[in-house]
Chains A and B, each alone.
Chain A
Amino acid sequence: MKVSYYPGCTLRNKARDLDIWARRSAEALGVELCELEDWQCCGGVFVAARDEIATKLSSVRALAQARDRGQPLVTVCSACHNVIKRTNQTLRTDADFAAKVHNYMAQDPNPIAPYTGETEVYHYLELLRDVVGFDRVRAAVKHPLTGKKIAAYYGCLLLRPGKVMRMDDPENPRVMEDFIRALGAEPVVYPARNECCGGYVVLENAQSAEKRSRTVSASAAGHGAEMIVTACPLCKYNLVKSGSELPVVYFTELLAEALGVKEESYAE
């Protein structure tokens, strides 16, 4: 099947691992990720102010392009996913916001037809769970990660706000644990898995963010994990920077490894 794909800026730089293994794995699973044309940065943060329109327009353009192609839109970065899904939801539920967005969009050189949230937005994990199915993922695994104890780290953006993201229970999620099981490894459930890594606070108050991240990695290590997986470049950055004793990898890399599409020759 074909889906529209929105990688996001970080996946072109720091988080190339997240992107490349997502693409290779999708190919192996029979899903064609059709990258959007001329996509723009999502802004990184969903601004909650109701009258803030301009920072959400790049998301609207991406969503409208997917609609015009008749495809669902797939993202893999937690932050992009959060911004795009929430923008989509606001367009669905807030007619006033949608009208204002349309007024802005009408000024584009090639204006699009008014967009009011028609596109379905999937996180790559949702694609695996709901469209491909973890059973098919399990069947496609060539090198099961048997015996590995892996801690899934959700952070905050992937699941919250729960009512908008509609991905999993924000307090007791299981999608990543099920994913880890599908790859043959053993998930480690630890209390800090849905705590914040400190996020952008690292720019203002590095110490505070470091403390948050340490809590997460220490909690995972304390519960016997050998490795932490995440879907968020910022989480990875903060965890690594705070000196996590456990390796932190993107979930797509783990997937590619299990599917046998990870080339050892790949280097940054």
Chain B
Amino acid sequence: MQRIGVFVCHCGTNIAGTVDVKAVAAALKNEPGVVFSADYPYMCSQAGQDMIKEAIAEHRLGGIVICSCSPRMHEATFRKTAAAAGLNPYMVEIANIREQCSWVHKDMAVGTEKAIILGKAAVAKVNLNTPLTPGQSPVTKRALVIGGGIAGIQTALDIAEAGFPVDIVETKPTIGGKMAQLDKTFPTLDCAACILTPKMVDAGQHENIRIFSYSEVTAVKGFVGNFEVTIKRKARYVKEDVCTGCGLCTEKCPQKKVPNEFNLGMDNRRAIYIPFAQAVPKVATIDPDYCMMLKSGKCGVCSKVCTVGAIDYKAKDEYIEEKYGAIVVATGFNPISLEKFDEYAYSQSKDVITSLEFERLTNAAGPTQGKLLRPSDGEHPHTIVFVQCVGSRCEACSEKGKEYCSKICCMYTAKHAMLTRDKYPDTDVYVFYIDVRTPGKNFDEFYRRAVEEYGVHYIKGMVGKVSPEGKKLHVQASDLLAGKQLHIDADLVVLAAAIEPDRSARPLATMLTASMDTNDFFTEAHPKLRPVESPTAGVFLSGACQGPKDIPETVSQAGAAAAKVIGLLCKDHLTGNPCVAHADELMCNGCSTCERVCPYGAITYVEKEFRMPDRTTKLRRVASVNEAVCQGCGACTVACMSGAMDLRGFMNRQIQAEVDAICK
């Protein structure tokens, strides 16, 4: 039996207004183990805390119960008070008699009765409390950023600037991501490359940043502060440290018919290629699907023309292992496939294009050197129809498209429409929309300029069908405000396809045990208060992998994620939460149920030798909890059928004692 002290707080009139605090203190005095009981107007005040400290010393208290507000408010305060008086902080229990009692009751008698019961439950629990000591784990002072788009680049730069080493892993041969493909950026219309490429160069040259391009993460082990990551460096058949990026090989390669993914297949590249002029690292890559030397052993032109001997046809995939303290996910997005939206005839006509393809068509480094020409015949289009929300804001039951708003389409469509009218005043530009959503600094002004100054025809309503007839695209649509059907013969139709998380996100989430929503966007730890942290400790989120975002928002989130990583890497040790799960190995039957329900991947199974009654040893499979990873949610304790799993600080028998006290 503990020697227990009870402290009942008035909280001014917050509690004392509906709870007879003196009666509560008197009633709890008679509970088993209680040797001291008192009330005080503000227990959290310095005087109140001093009173607790004195009582602990004077009455040699082994445990205390504070009847006050929610533990979310002041549990930490009272734990510190206890620790200052030499008591283990986990010997403190809070009975919440404010939020769950005085605030919700009006009748003094009822409130008092409930407060006494809550106090009794807390006393019953403290009687079974044991001192707990949090463990400590070291922190590896290196961060991993997965994804080398603007989100990953910005996060890496911010972490590197704070003095910590960072590695960027990017699946493509260069960093830069989607932003590198864009022409201009809204709402200022500065060119994307002009503002992105200096950052790419910074990242490439920073002494604290290593870039693993053409690489992917294949395995993640460990936990916050101590991740062990396997990175696959795909064979690029060009020695990265030797290649000077002169580009001679990419001019001489005889294989000219490789669809150029950087221009979304609208032109061709060679089998050996550098995605674009400002690529970082500026190193050539051989595409093994098209290289004749790799496929049939006949060619070798690139090797002959390379003056530095960088070509290596015998290169193999390599795996490297590295330790990290924190991981930032920045896997980004892709436009959805338009296969299910063939009413817009995307598969039937080359002149029906996506907005990202439009970016390439208007980009000076694109397939048409920035001239807006129809992909089918290279003629200048005179009537252009933009369709917004293609696959965004679909009904859940429609079985095609996404329910959410893709957020960026209204703004980039306004940008496309405005730039088209600016460059080609002879064009008629129509934009079909469900709603125009342009919140954001200078965003609505931007959209209104498109309508008012540039004469873009904005029409509320959706396009029902696009029919390629001859050289024209017959667009059938409804004008909801005029209440009539429209028929437009267009030369070019641009579809603002919804965006979805990159496909690599799902397997990565499994490796990281980070949770995702039904759309495969990573879930944040708290939608408002912890937006850049994943619920998995040590995993942070940057950019569109967490939800649709434009560039300014992505960069803000990238910086926020970096700040969180820096905060973590600054620590030499991490103090754990001692209220974690613990498996009683003698009771564990090895069923794996706890492993499956654990949302944090904290439970593994180990083979262990046990002594049997007849002095033989037996190998058994038992659960083992990694205390640094466990968040103490308790899911495993409920799932465990043999009762082997228990949560320290919230043991089954402690909770049972509380229930018994309440029901007595």
Contact = CB atoms under 8 A, between A and B. Distances in A.
Interface of A: 162-163, 169, 171-172, 189, 191-192, 195, 219, 222
Given A163-B397, A163-B399, A191 B469 contact: yes
A169 B467 contact: no
A172 B346 CA distance: 10
B345 A169 contact: no
Contacts of A222: 469-470
Nearest to A163: B399
A69 B300 CA distance: 69
A195 to B, nearest CB: 8
Contacts of A163: 397, 399
Given A163-B399, A191-B465, A169 B340 contact: yes
A43 B190 CA distance: 63
Give the top 8 A-B pairs by smallest Cβ distance, nearest first. A191-B467, A172-B342, A171-B342, A171-B343, A191-B468, A163-B399, A222-B469, A191-B345
A169 B337 CA distance: 15
Interface of B: 339-343, 345, 347-348, 397, 399, 465-470, 474
Nearest to A172: B342
Contacts of A189: 348
Contacts of B465: 191, 195
6 contacts: A163-B399, A169-B342, A171-B343, A191-B348, A191-B468, A219-B467
A133 B397 CA distance: 31
Contacts, number: 27
Nearest to A162: B399
Nearest to B473: A191
B399 A172 contact: no
B347 A172 contact: yes
A163, A172, A192: most-surrounded residue (chain B CB, <10 A): A172
Contacts of A169: 340, 342
A191 B347 CA distance: 11
Nearest to A218: B469
A171 B340 contact: yes
Contacts of A219: 467, 469
B595 to A, nearest CB: 38
A99 to B, nearest CB: 24
A11 to B, nearest CB: 31
Contacts of A195: 465
A59 to B, nearest CB: 24
Nearest to A191: B467
A192 B342 CA distance: 12
Contact of A171 (B341, B468, B469): B341
B467 A192 contact: yes
A266 to B, nearest CB: 37
A171, A195, A219: most-surrounded residue (chain B CB, <10 A): A171
A3 B465 CA distance: 38
B530 to A, nearest CB: 39
A162 B397 CA distance: 11
Nearest to B347: A172
A172 B465 CA distance: 12
A192 B339 CA distance: 18
Nearest to B346: A172
Contacts of A172: 339, 342, 347
Contacts of A192: 467
Contacts of B466: 191
B463 to A, nearest CB: 12
A222 B341 CA distance: 23
A166 B519 CA distance: 24
B340 A191 contact: no
